[in-house]
């Protein structure tokens, strides 16, 4: 896969928005180092000029999503494990728990597909079963 990529991220919270996924498309950078996939891209907050720098590190057994900027968080997804972290937002901090039920990574020559299914709780209260799908494709030159 080429270094310059398009990153399409689709998220779904089953109990909240049923079949209404949230989708973000961004330009990013892709690297493969020591068998791990690294994807770096920026996110813009709605109704704001604030930018959050995002890094995704994907390996067969674990996917990390790290956000720095207007929102700060380091989420760790490991199948069969529950991980907790703090999600720092401009409006305050939230403690989130992530219980990962499935990680799937599909690699093709110019495409990488990541799928994460997980349960989400906020401040020890279950919120929703969620899914993140990421499609990383080489940009046309």
Q: Quickly state the pLDDT bin for 20 (edges 50, 70, 90).
A: low
Expressed as residue numbers, the domain containing 51 is 4-138
- HEC letters along 2-16: CCEEEEEEEEEEHHH
> Cβ contacts of residue 1 below 8 Å, gap of 6+?
30, 32, 109, 110, 111, 112, 136, 138
* pLDDT (tens digit per residue) in 45-69: 777 778 899 999 999 889 999 999 9
Q: Quickly state the pLDDT bin for 125 (edges 50, 70, 90).
A: very high
Q: Quickly state the pLDDT bin for 12 (edges 50, 70, 90).
A: confident
The span from the CA of 133 to the CA of 24, in Å, is 11
Q: Over 70: is that where the pLDDT of 70 sits?
A: yes
Per DSSP, 140 falls in state P
Per the structure, the count of domains in the chain is 1
Q: Could you tell me if 138 and 4 are in contact, meaning their C-beta atoms sit under 8 angstroms apart?
A: yes
Task: Say which CATH number the domain at 81 has.
Answer: 2.40.128.20
Q: Is 17 helix (H, G, I), strand (E, B) or coil?
A: helix
Residue with tokens 């299914």: 117
């Amino acid at each position: 896969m080429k270094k310059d990529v398009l990153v399409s991220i689709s998220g779904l919270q089953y109990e909240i928005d049923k079949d209404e996924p949230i989708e973000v498309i961004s330009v990013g950078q892709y690297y493969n180092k020591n068998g791990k996939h690294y994807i770096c891209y920026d996110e813009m907050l709605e109704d704001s000029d604030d930018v959050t720098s995002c890094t995704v590190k994907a390996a067969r057994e674990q996917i990390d999503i790290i956000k720095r900027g207007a929102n700060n968080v380091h989420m760790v997804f490991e199948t069969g494990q529950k991980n907790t972290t703090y999600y720092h937002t401009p409006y305050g901090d939230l403690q989130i728990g992530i219980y990962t039920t499935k990680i799937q990574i599909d690699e093709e020559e110019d495409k990488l597909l990541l799928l994460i299914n997980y349960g989400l709780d906020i401040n020890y209260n279950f919120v929703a079963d969620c899914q993140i799908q990421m499609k990383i494709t080489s940009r046309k030159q």
